[in-house]
Amino acid sequence: MNFRSLLAHSAIATALVVTTATAQVPGPAANSDVYGHVGIGTIAPNRSALLDLTGTDVGLLIPRLTTTQRNAIALPAKSLLIFNTDANEFQYNWGTPAVPDWRPILDGANAGNTAWILTGNNGPFTDGTNNLLGTNAGAGDRQVNIQANGQRTIRLVPNATSPTIIGGFSGNTASGAGVTISGGGQAGNLNTATGDFATIGGGSGNIASALAATIGGGDDNDATGAHSTVGGGDDNDADGDHSTIGGGEENDADGEHSTIGGGDNNEAEGAHSFIGGGLNNDTDGDFSTVAGGDDNDVEGNYDFIGGGQENTTAGGEHNAIVGGVGNTITPNDGGTITSSFIGGGDDNRIQSFPGSDVSVATIGGGSANIIQSNNAAVTTASTIGGGDNNGIYNSGAATIAGGRGNVINSELDVVDYYPGNSIGGGTDNFIGPGDGGFAAMNTIGGGNENSIRANGGLIEKSTIGGGESNFIRAGIAPQTSNTIGGGFDNTVDQSDYATISGGNTNMIDGANGSAIVGGQNNTVTGDNSMAFGNGANVSQDNSVVFNHTTGTPTRVGVAANNPQVAMDVNGGLAVRNANVSFPAGASPKVLNVTVGDRSYIRVTSDGVACTGIGCVATGLGTTQRSITLTSGNQVGQVLVIECVETAAGDGFRVLDADANVNTNILGPVYSMQNEDTLILMWNGTNWIEVGRSNN
């Protein structure tokens, strides 16, 4: 027997003695094998145990101590086991003899005080010590790892500011405070979050590398701007701070606070810019927007493109293109464009050139329409409703409603600005300067190749209603308020307030306030004159001409239908008189009466006895004055002469042509008394007597 066996037998003998002395019922004997393993209740103790206690109706009774008694144990050995009757639990010394640390052996009754149990814990987490799951504070990286089926699925990484949570593939990596990777990732395509408070919800190959960056999921997305967000999709990149990409593929949000809703290969570079979706769209301007479509480009601040394809706002501010194809708003080389609009259509353009400005311009739609400003001019509040190839240049408040090839062109001089021109539609109509000049507040309703032009001066407030090849022109002097209603090849040239209602090849030239009602080949050059019919030519002021050069002659009915003569009057005909007087006391007593365009002249004496040159005694016992007449204006002109006496016997006489005057009357002289009349007609040489009355 070796020394170890001897000690074991001695201990057993001592235990048996104590047991015999204290037990009420004798217990089993202690046995040992040749290896020193002791068994109680068995003759063959288990070789892996130093002491093997075996029994079916007894147990092992551990020493029972109060907390005070336990604490009184001198230098308790590490792992010393007792039952604490105060705590009603088994306890062991986890510490050292010098510094004991008594800890409980956990069971269902007390586990909730120091550990998590399957049925849950009930106590509050109030002191940072109880009712918690994790690792103790201490040196080193004390992570908490949760595994499933032998693989790590969740890592909890401590951080002095805020802990990090890493889920998904075990190779996902995170650094920084408050970082979260909820899941996703795979071998060769890890999720990586390196910015403080960054978050990746799932997916694979995603990288959130900035402060508070977030990626919801998807594949190969990057959130590199602070507070940036990528909702999902593939290969999207949110570089700008506070930028957002909802999804899609290969989208790039570079500007601060920029947003891309989805789509493919869109790029939001301007601050606060927005792209709703679509393909290959680009917002360069701050606060700019592309709602969707394909290959649209917004470069100006606050600009907008609703959709369509290949539309561009290349600068300026507050401009918009709703849709269409190939529409552009472009300030070139230092020009500016603001608050302008293209509704749709294709290849419509609003543009400005160096030193020029376009503002509040609108093209509703159509094709290849243009509003433009150049030569340091200003185009503002101008509109093209639609049509194709219409143009407005250097004009304010100009409008082309539609049609094709219509043009409005004005200018900006140092002092005055000329706006308000309009073309309703039609084809190839024009308002603007010819050889210099300005145009303002003019209108062409429609038609074809109608033109209102200023050649050096100002043309304003003029109108062509329609028709074809009609023309209103101003020369060097300003011209205003002319009108051509329609027809073909009618012209108003260098006139004011002139009107041609219609017809063909009519012309008003240098005549103010004149009119041609219609017909063809009529010409008016006299002021306040009027022409009708065919081939009328009015050169005198204040004249009206009815004319037909061929076919049925002109017939006029006054209150009479279907006249068969040149003038058919159904009613009275009145001729207004003109009054002429002998000058009082004048000598000689001969009055030369200017006839002009008058047909009824009342001649009054001076009421003084007639003496001296021009006074002739008559067979009536009186001495009379004499009158002569100027030539008539027109062959066939009729003239009525009436004598008005102011005193008895102071009438006058009219001589015959034999006295070398231009009156050819019956007899050598006609002595006229009060209310006598003489009717004459001009034959181109003399006034021929038609009739007389002695009253």
486-524 per-position pLDDT tens digit: 999 999 999 999 999 999 999 999 999 999 998 999 999
Contacts of 126 (CB under 8 A, 6+ apart): none
pLDDT higher than 60, residue 14: no
The answer on 75 and 38 residing in a single domain is no
In whole angstroms, give the CA distance from residue 86 to residue 216.
54
Asked if the model's pLDDT at residue 336 lies above 60, the reply is yes
Give the domain-ending residue among 197, 231, 265: 265
Alpha-carbon dihedral angle through residues 285, 286, 288, 293, given to the nearest 10 degrees: 50
Give the residue numbers spanning the domain of 90.
Answer: 64-104
Buried/exposed code over 582-620 (b: 16+ C-beta within 10 A; e: otherwise): beeeeeebbbebebeebbbbbbbbbeeebeeebbeeeee
> Has residue 238 been placed in a domain?
yes
Nearest partner of 678 among 667, 670, 686, judged by Cα: 670
Instruction: Give the C-alpha separation, 284 to 303, whole Å.
Output: 10
Q: Which of 63-77, 119-133, 140-154, 666-680 has the highest mean pLDDT?
A: 63-77
Confidence (pLDDT) at 399? 97
| Domain-embedded: residue 351 | no
Burial class (CB in 10 A: 0-12, 13-18, 19+), 636: exposed
Amino acid letter for position 173: T
pLDDT of residue 206: 97
Predicted pLDDT at 688: 96
**pLDDT score of 108:** 58
Containing 558, the helix (H) or strand (E) segment is strand 556-558
pLDDT above 50: residue 15:
no
Range from 77-91, 575-589, 590-604, 680-694 carrying the lowest mean pLDDT: 575-589
pLDDT of residue 419: 86
Over residues 232-240, mean pLDDT: 97
Q: In what order do the strands lie in the sheet with 51-53?
A: 30-32, 38-40, 51-53
String of b and e for 549-570 (b: at least 16 CB within 10 Å)? eeeeebeeeeeeeeeeeeeeee
**Number of domains present in the structure of the chain:** 4
Q: Is residue 535 part of a domain?
A: no
- pLDDT value for 37: 85
Strands of the 600-604 sheet, one edge to the other: 578-581, 600-604, 638-644, 677-682, 687-693, 663-664
Residue 610 has pLDDT above 80, yes or no: no
Residue where one domain finishes, among candidates 230, 265, 300? 265
Region 285-297: mean pLDDT is 97
Band (pLDDT 50/70/90 cuts) for residue 118 is: low
Instruction: Tell me if 480 is assigned to some domain.
Output: no
Long-range contacts of 343-350 (CB under 8 A, 24+ apart): 344/308, 345/369, 345/386, 348/324, 348/384, 350/319
**Considering the chain, what percentage of its residues have pLDDT values greater than 70?**
88
Six-digit token string for 561: 């239908």
- Residue 446 falls within a domain, yes or no? no
Q: Are residues 80 and 8 in the same domain?
A: no
Residues 688 and 626 in one domain: yes
Q: What is the pLDDT of residue 468?
A: 97
Q: At 662, is the pLDDT very low, low, confident or very high (cuts 50, 70, 90)?
A: very high
Tell me if 408 is assigned to some domain: no
Of 35, 31, 27, 41, nearest in space to 11 by CA? 31
Tokens encoding 127: 């002191």
| CA-to-CA dists, residue 265 to 39, 229, 274, angstroms | 81, 17, 14
In the structure, what pLDDT confidence band is assigned to residue 120 with cuts at 50, 70 and 90?
low
pLDDT beyond 50 at 208: yes
The per-residue pLDDT for 109 is: 60
Nearest Cα residue to 628 out of 578, 663, 678: 663
Rounded CA separation 644/652 (Å): 9
Of the listed ranges 317-331, 561-575, 643-657, the least confidently predicted one is: 643-657
Residues 585 and 688 in one domain: yes
11 and 87 inside one domain: no
End-of-domain residue from the set 234, 265, 296: 265
Q: 46 and 72 in one domain?
A: no
Residue 503: both structure tokens together: 């017809």
More confident residue, 450 or 548: 450
Same domain, 178 and 205: yes
pLDDT the model gives residue 431: 95
Overall size of the chain counted in residues:
695
Which of residues 660 and 345 earns the better pLDDT score? 345
Give the least confident one: 75-89, 195-209, 343-357, 647-661.
647-661
Q: Does residue 225 carry a pLDDT above 80?
A: yes
The alpha-carbon radius of gyration of the chain (Å, integer) is 59
User: pLDDT band for position 681 (50/70/90)?
Assistant: very high
Residues 261 and 149 in one domain: yes
Least confident of 142-146, 298-302, 568-572: 142-146
Q: Is the confidence at residue 127, as pLDDT, over 70? A: no
Vertex 66, ends 64 and 67: CA angle to 5°?
A: 130
Quick one: average pLDDT of 567-571?
89
How high is the pLDDT of residue 18? Answer: 37
- Which three-class secondary structure string do you get for 330-351? EECCCCEEECCEECCCECCEEE
Q: How much is the mean pLDDT over the chain? A: 88
Does residue 28 lie in a domain region?
yes
**Which of 333, 331, 332, 334 has the alpha carbon at shortest distance from 318?**
331
176 and 225, same domain (yes or no):
yes
User: Which whole number is the average pLDDT over 120-144?
Assistant: 63
Residues 46 and 68 in one domain: no
**Rounded distance, CA 48 to CA 639, Å?**
163
Q: Residue 32 above 80 pLDDT?
A: no
What's the longest Cα–Cα distance across the chain? 206
* 314 lies in some domain: no
Q: Which of 546, 550, 551, 541 is nearest to 568 (CA)?
A: 546
Tokens 């048996």 correspond to: 16
Q: Which is higher by pLDDT, 652 or 342?
A: 342
Q: Are residues 252 and 162 in the same domain?
A: yes
Q: Give the per-residue pLDDT at 408.
A: 94
- Tell me the CA distances in angstroms from 454 to 325, 495, 510, 663, one per residue in order: 36, 12, 14, 52
Q: Is residue 532 helix, strand or coil?
A: strand
How far lies 476's CA from each of 415, 419, 471, 472, in Å?
Answer: 17, 19, 16, 14
Could you read off the pLDDT of 616-653 as tens digits, one per residue?
Answer: 776 666 667 888 999 999 999 999 999 998 877 778 88
So what's the pLDDT on residue 140? 59
In terms of domains, do 198 and 256 share one? Answer: yes
- Res 149: pLDDT: 82
What residues pair up with 434 in beta bridges, in sequence order?
436
Q: Which of 208-222, 257-271, 587-601, 608-622 has the lowest mean pLDDT?
A: 608-622
pLDDT at 148: 83
Concatenated DSSP letters of 193-207: E-STT-EE-S-BS-E
